[in-house]
Structure 1
Amino acid sequence: MIEQDWAILLARAQFAFTVSFHFLFPAFSIGLASFLAVLEGLWLKTGEGVYANLYRYWIKIFAVVFAMGVVSGIVMSYQFGTNWAVFSDKAGPVIGPLMAYEVLTAFFLEAGFLGVMLFGINKVGRKLHFVATLAVALGTFVSAFWILSVNSWMQTPVGYEIAANGQFVPGDSWLTIIFNPSFPYRLAHTVLAAYLTTAFIVGGVGGWHLLKDRANPGARKMFSMAMWMAALVAPVQIFAGDAHGLNTLEHQPAKVMAMEGHYQSHPHGAPLILFGIPDSDRQKVDYAIEIPNASSLILKHDLHAPLKGLDTVARADQPPVIIVFFAFRVMIGIGFAMLGICVWSLLARLRGKLYDWPLLHRFAILMGPSGLVAVLSGWIVTETGRQPYTIYGLLRTAQSASPLDAPAVAASLAAFVLVYFAVFGMGIWYLLRLMKKPPQAHEAPLDDAPIRSAGITPAPAMIEGGAA
């Protein structure tokens, strides 16, 4: 029994490790694909070469990020059969078709146009190439749609029936399954997070190059566009996050109790615990710093509204509070820091100093990876807060695993850690190297690389629109 518990724990750690790596790349590529579509659209509309050069600069980065996302996703999917065969068997009739829809729509759409987008900039017409870029951007969104529908159904399962063999099978309507109660909120919150992630990475790269050369037109343009995007999306994300939180309170109250650190019920208004150290053994938050009644105001929009605590949930059904508690505060803290730099950038813009405040640029560099940390923290809150269930309230994690031997799972986990840090470490190093290089006045497209490496000067058409 003890070995089986260790095997399940190691299987969970393996899935958490691989999906954490994977999640970072789509979180960047979803927003970056849309950014590339905007850049190419602005180039076609205005004819300004700075947009074409930025497109060619960022498409190289997009190609690497997209490839790393695909590879990490393929590896992750095998674990459903190796480590989580019981879950796959029981939930397969519902989640299998949804995953197939993702392949048939998003993956085929991306695969069909990705080659044209990456290598066809000098081989097809401008409008057709723009269509390819739009198709890839749409494909990334459609992929997020289906994946989040699957995950949201696991969080708020509806529209199913349980067959005689114990499998979850679709009921009368697939639409009920797809558009389950948490899906719209989760989709909006995640896609907005992807746009913020991209905005801050682009802004960080722009800030880095502005510190080197304030006159670089590509650095100025990317920094300005990134700060505009962040300033527009960050306030919307706050409202989306609030709506998502209220939906979670309705359907997964134990998760919100863990997020808030509410071990005890509060019949006359719950405090907002800003910081503390949760102790699940004693069911108490030590060293708590609180704002009286603020949690009731946020969650119920009423200072004196009662809120239930984890004392109403059996110990065996409580999520790991300390993980959820701190991951949630990391996400919220980064969100406020993002809002702060957005306000700062607007002030700089109003004063005509957007490109002349080095401290702003340094802070933008510091905030560059903040979106990745925030989405990872949000994923931890979502998935760890669902425990001890894989299908919330219906199928426990301990009942979902394959018959496992702990040493075998430990060996595969160790192999994953070594390979991932080696392969993806090199990939991330290469991405940083690409970002370190400043945007040039005549940025070469991907399909021009072999020509330049051979020492041949490209034809004028290959750098059309290259001058700022």
Structure 2
Amino acid sequence: MDITALLLSRLQFAFTVSFHIIFPSLTIGLAAWLTVLEALHLATGRPAYRRVFEFWLKIFGVAFGLGVVSGIVLAFEFGTNWSELSRMSGPIQGPLLTYETFTAFALEASFFGVLLFGRQRVAPWFYLSSTAMVALGTTLSAFWIMVNNSWMQVPVGYVLENGTFVPTDWAKIIFSAVVWVRFPHMLLASYLTGAFCVAATGAWYLLRGQFHAEARIMLRMGLYLAAILVPVQILFGHLTGEYAHDYQPAKFAAIEGRWHDEQPASEVLFAIPDEARQSNRYAISVPVLGSLIGSISFDSKEVGLTRFPPQDRPPVLIPFFAFRIMVGCGIVMLLLAWAGVYSGIKGRLERNRVLLWCTFLSFPLPHIAILSGWFTAEVGRQPWTVYGVLRTADAMTPFLTAQAASISLIVFCAVYVFIFAFGTFYIYRLLRSGPAGGLVLPPAAAIPNRPMSVVGQIGMPNTDLLAQEDSR
């Protein structure tokens, strides 16, 4: 086995899946939000909801296309770089990915065309139903992917026959308790991604004095939704940690930075893990909290990494720091969302420029949280591809050379960077253009109750202008 080829293959898959996950996480959240917008438009008849819907539908279309293009590559990598994994787990992973195609892709492809071209050709109720079907399709796609990945994390419902994983109980595989913790965790992460991207866009427009009615809808709906979802996400994050504690103790010990058994266990808030010395440097710990988090007990014994053979331990630095980055992003998003709700209740949200700037700058946070959470889960699973039964080194394509792996890595990096640059630039152009038909106010009019000096230029009193804008 070529160790260099193994490392390059791992880097390649990590790069492509990290690039890919950005777009599905956004489109899952946007699809659900578009359904809500269309329902609000039908219920209230307010034109601003329609303009916001049409605006975000364009961005959804671009992100959806980028997600599909970048995701196709992952299927090829299973054959080119990880053929042993495909051969051994094909009887389980093959049907799961097929279910995704037959359910998720079928719904998305069938009804997305209605969203793009059917507004004037179908009844309003059918258009709303089509929006909901696209949202359901994106959700089902996430579900089947998480079922697949959760089986690799905690394999159940199979037997090993002639070097192949043969399914014996599909109900155990699909309805595993691990799936129904990790799938909601990923779904909520996607909803939060959509919420913060939408809220950040609304804040940006208000700071620029543009599209006031549409911006208010984006800002308030995004922050209010996040204020509800972040606490629920924290709960499912804790449940996800419990599955790692029970089924993947080595991963849990790496995340905690715990090298030796402790009773009761402390919680390491920050440290620099030193794998050579099997200890932490500059550690800041809270006594007993580790037992409380791990086992909901004040005196439980928590295992350390030294309990496991060195060849069975995951790398420590990446899951240790990635987990803390994810938690940090979650705390910042929670504080920001709750501050937005409080400011909105007080009627100061659109005038609080500090909060608007913080909201605008928050748009990368959910993406960073998702990527760092994914790194925690996948790097923490090492050295296993199928946890406990198939090592990553044994899952690689036999006789794959370092030269072939390096060429494909370079090509993928170049193509993906080009695609990302083009897609990002095009989405930026859409954001600059804003919702079609939205009223662009002068900068002073962007903040209600602020004196304006442009009454003569716009031809109406200040109060009339703001009332007209709010009615939109």
What TM-score do the two structures reach when normalised by structure 2?
0.91
Alignment of 1:281-430 (within 5 A): 281-403=276-398, 404-430=400-426
Does 2:215 correspond to 1:219? yes
Deviation at 1:27, TM superposition (A): 0.5
Q: Hey, what does 2:198 align to over in structure 1?
A: 202
Describe the superposition over 1:264-291 as per-residue Cα deviations: whole angstroms up to 9, x where unpaired: 110x211111111111111111111111
Alignment equivalent of 1:192, drawn from 188, 196, 210: 188
Alignment equivalent of 2:16, drawn from 3, 15, 18: 18
- 2:242 and 2:308 map into 1 onto residues whose CA distance is 19
CA RMSD of the aligned region, Å?
A: 1.4
Q: Hey, what does 1:179 align to over in structure 2?
A: 175
**Closer, same or farther in 2 for the Cα pair 1:29/1:188, shift >3 Å?**
same
Alignment equivalent of 1:144, drawn from 127, 137, 142: 142
- 2:286 and 2:432 map into 1 onto residues whose CA distance is 44
- 2:316 and 2:425 map into 1 onto residues whose CA distance is 35
Describe the superposition over 1:75-104 as per-residue Cα deviations: whole angstroms up to 9, x where unpaired: 121000000000100000011111111101
The answer (yes or no) to whether the contact 1:219–1:438 under 8 Å persists in 2 is: no
The one-letter amino acid paired with 1:229 is: L
Deviation at 1:116, TM superposition (A): 0.6
Partner of 1:385, secondary structure, is helix
The answer (yes or no) to whether the contact 2:305–2:313 under 8 Å persists in 1 is: yes
Alignment of 1:67-78 (within 5 A): 67-78=65-76
Deviation at 1:305, TM superposition (A): 1.7
Partner of 1:181, secondary structure, is coil
- 1:429 and 1:319 map into 2 onto residues whose CA distance is 38
Describe the superposition over 1:9-53 as per-residue Cα deviations: whole angstroms up to 9, x where unpaired: 000000000000111100000000000000000001111111000
- 1:398 and 1:441 map into 2 onto residues whose CA distance is 56
Q: Hey, what does 2:78 align to over in structure 1?
A: 80
The answer (yes or no) to whether the contact 2:211–2:438 under 8 Å persists in 1 is: no
- 2:127 and 2:211 map into 1 onto residues whose CA distance is 30
The answer (yes or no) to whether the contact 2:211–2:435 under 8 Å persists in 1 is: no
Deviation at 1:351, TM superposition (A): 1.3
Deviation at 1:389, TM superposition (A): 0.5
Describe the superposition over 1:239-263 as per-residue Cα deviations: whole angstroms up to 9, x where unpaired: 1111111121111111111111001
Deviation at 1:432, TM superposition (A): 2.0
- 2:284 and 2:247 map into 1 onto residues whose CA distance is 28
The answer (yes or no) to whether the contact 1:227–1:345 under 8 Å persists in 2 is: yes
Deviation at 1:303, TM superposition (A): 2.4
- 2:58 and 2:128 map into 1 onto residues whose CA distance is 16
- 1:441 and 1:419 map into 2 onto residues whose CA distance is 36
Describe the superposition over 1:184-213 as per-residue Cα deviations: whole angstroms up to 9, x where unpaired: 110010000000111111111111011112
What TM-score do the two structures reach when normalised by structure 1?
0.92
The answer (yes or no) to whether the contact 2:19–2:70 under 8 Å persists in 1 is: yes
Partner of 1:421, secondary structure, is helix
Q: Hey, what does 1:270 align to over in structure 2?
A: 265
Deviation at 1:437, TM superposition (A): 2.8
The one-letter amino acid paired with 1:78 is: F
Q: Which moved more, 1:62-71 or 1:293-302?
A: 293-302
Does 2:255 correspond to 1:230? no
Q: Hey, what does 2:55 align to over in structure 1?
A: 57
- 1:270 and 1:169 map into 2 onto residues whose CA distance is 40
Deviation at 1:433, TM superposition (A): 2.2
Deviation at 1:440, TM superposition (A): 4.0
Q: Hey, what does 1:280 align to over in structure 2?
A: 275
The answer (yes or no) to whether the contact 1:218–1:440 under 8 Å persists in 2 is: no
Q: Hey, what does 1:167 align to over in structure 2?
A: 164
The answer (yes or no) to whether the contact 1:214–1:355 under 8 Å persists in 2 is: no
Deviation at 1:398, TM superposition (A): 0.4
The answer (yes or no) to whether the contact 1:110–1:139 under 8 Å persists in 2 is: yes
The one-letter amino acid paired with 2:164 is: Q
The one-letter amino acid paired with 2:254 is: A
The one-letter amino acid paired with 2:269 is: L
Partner of 2:349, secondary structure, is coil
- 1:58 and 1:438 map into 2 onto residues whose CA distance is 9
The answer (yes or no) to whether the contact 2:214–2:438 under 8 Å persists in 1 is: no
Q: Hey, what does 1:462 align to over in structure 2?
A: none
Q: Which moved more, 1:285-294 or 1:38-47?
A: 285-294
